[in-house]
Structure 1
């Protein structure tokens, strides 16, 4: 009996090791030459990227046990009472759109941004489960996407904030890569794209405060307070960031994942005001508050960057923390009112202009309350 149990455990361990080392979902590995190059960055120390002020994402053993214990607590309303219905998008409508800047939210932090006649996709996690294997994560709240990847027209640029599974998805990249002109990532993330077949010449990696122009759009990598890694041994080997996307007339901010810190005010002072800001709001916990901000901090971050209109993101698609699925949007709405901020809350798939007024008061999530 003991031999049988030991054999099963051994087989599981071997299977896990093989999966981690050979499954393509984990992406590429930083080379020695890249490590030497990245060491020139002010945000790199002793072989890893770091946060401003040395803020770390490492959890103590006590907090780790608390986090594991929290997974077994019976928290009400962590998912919608039925699958979220999305607004469908017509591929021809996307391909033929050449009007004012608009976006289509895919849930969580994924967007299609149409700006100056260009199609830009941000953090394309368009699969069902944000994990290296379907058994390792919960499914998306909506059963279908606003539009399937295969039906998307040519994509001019893909922007990626960091390499976590809920922002950089292997299957999505495989389906997208042949229709994308250019990928923009923080330092190191391009190694995953290359591993998945994206040509090196189609990838631009930027450090914080660096910028590049692609046709008539400017992409600026700005700080975030977070971490990175897709496997067991690559923590912080690649950089994380927020992004600014500018045209000749408009200025848009995307926070990526981040704890609340002084970098938001610094970004606002340097590049604000912003016409529109997409700011993280969801998957938070007191145990990791330095890398995922609370909803009240989301509103304050919007004020710090001097955004005219704010959209809470990183919610509405997956359960990645032990809070009610509507807690983020309810709390940030209250705080935004207190601060006199304009909040934008479109439905998944809804085509929304960055200055549209109609989406500001749309409390669509109430249709899915238990």
Structure 2
């Protein structure tokens, strides 16, 4: 018994030391910051909460069972047979761009947006794995990007939806922080950015339904139904969100990660219709359907937010669930067609003109 207690104690101490000093875990919200966040309707009992009482807190045995299921279940066609080749874009093309609003997909949920001569990154995760350590995750589906991070020109703004590893990546932040003017995040995420050397005056935190201006572009932090945390002992310590991005001529919705819930209709009523909605579609399972949408729900959420067209995101990047890698895009396009909702399906790196009304994209994922 004594030997067992000593081993357990050593493991706990090792974990605490590792998570406190290994930089990719980020920062921790202080007691003083919690007092400030207590003004938010979403912050209760020291944690951020969804409007609905989800997600369910798993017991230790349930957590172990879920992890065992994920790591031992073989998924046929769980990954592409070959590396997903990205369409390349030149850095000068980005630096000198003065055309109408466009986006470039970097895979998963990461985008480069150019609007009103501003260059904006959404959830710029350029890491090889969606985990704090390389050994804890599988490699991403695209080895190369449309443009390497080091070649990105000046970035006017970076927007994050939440602090999970497939959206907020330590190494990516190190590579872009000195060329980025400002960061826009939901409440709490500043602790990670500040821990990684970003000055407080370059960070704007927002609660749900709060907005701010970026030289005439309206940025609105809107609800999502998800959760947060980068280690076992700081779950729900930071807020998660979706975003509305509005210029005088374009209106974009970025869902972040979210389960299907009434907030989509509320956002659509307040800020729609949207020229383009970037909608989470991938990494789902019945066991966690309250925090990630099924593809059929993704299409319905596009209707709810009053999108003229949707682009499925959160797929074709990482294997983080037990479905085939093409299942999200096949199911969402089928349902969207039945709902008379336009879906665009660009390749990684292919330019997306936000207000373009003609869908010229191919089913590029077939046979890969």
TM-score, normalization: structure 2? Answer: 0.95
Aligned twin of 1:21:
20
Q: What secondary structure does 1:366 align onto?
A: coil
2:250–2:354 contact (8 Å) kept in structure 1:
no
Q: Deviations over 1:233-289 (max 9, x none)?
A: 110010000000000111100000000000000000111101110000000010100
Of residues 237-246 and 52-61 in structure 1, the stretch that sits farther from structure 2 once superposed is: 52-61
CA pair 228-133 structure 1, distance change in 2 beyond 3 A: same
5 Å-filtered alignment, 1:1-370, equals: 15-60=14-59, 63-64=62-63, 66-71=65-70, 72-356=72-356, 359-368=359-368
Q: What secondary structure does 1:352 align onto?
A: strand
C-alpha distance in 2, partners of 1:367/1:90? 28
Q: Deviations over 1:14-36 (max 9, x none)?
A: 54433212101111111222110
Per-residue deviation at 1:166?
A: 0.5
C-alpha distance in 2, partners of 1:146/1:336? 28
Per-residue deviation at 1:216?
A: 1.6
C-alpha distance in 2, partners of 1:324/1:214? 39
Q: Deviations over 1:163-188 (max 9, x none)?
A: 00000000000110111111000000
1:352–1:359 contact (8 Å) kept in structure 2:
no
Q: CA RMSD in A?
A: 2.0
Per-residue deviation at 1:143?
A: 1.1
1:277–1:311 contact (8 Å) kept in structure 2:
yes
TM-score, normalization: structure 1? Answer: 0.94
C-alpha distance in 2, partners of 1:45/1:93? 47
CA pair 235-297 structure 1, distance change in 2 beyond 3 A: same
C-alpha distance in 2, partners of 1:295/1:361? 19
1:295–1:328 contact (8 Å) kept in structure 2:
yes
C-alpha distance in 2, partners of 1:254/1:46? 29
Q: What secondary structure does 2:120 align onto?
A: strand
Per-residue deviation at 1:89?
A: 1.2
Q: Deviations over 1:67-113 (max 9, x none)?
A: 23432122200000011111111000011111011000000000000
Which ranges of structure 2 fall in alignment gaps of 5 or more residues? none
Q: What secondary structure does 2:85 align onto?
A: coil
C-alpha distance in 1, partners of 2:62/2:332? 26
Of residues 6-15 and 309-318 in structure 1, the stretch that sits farther from structure 2 once superposed is: 6-15
1:342–1:360 contact (8 Å) kept in structure 2:
no
Per-residue deviation at 1:144?
A: 1.0
C-alpha distance in 1, partners of 2:140/2:357? 28
Per-residue deviation at 1:5?
A: 11
2:24–2:132 contact (8 Å) kept in structure 1:
yes
C-alpha distance in 1, partners of 2:141/2:359? 21
2:281–2:294 contact (8 Å) kept in structure 1:
yes
Q: What secondary structure does 2:229 align onto?
A: coil
Q: Deviations over 1:204-224 (max 9, x none)?
A: 000000000011211000000
Which ranges of structure 1 fall in alignment gaps of 5 or more residues? none
C-alpha distance in 1, partners of 2:8/2:141? 33
Q: What secondary structure does 2:156 align onto?
A: strand
Per-residue deviation at 1:65?
A: 5.1
How many pairs align? 366
C-alpha distance in 2, partners of 1:189/1:5? 37
C-alpha distance in 1, partners of 2:41/2:5? 48
CA pair 318-258 structure 1, distance change in 2 beyond 3 A: same
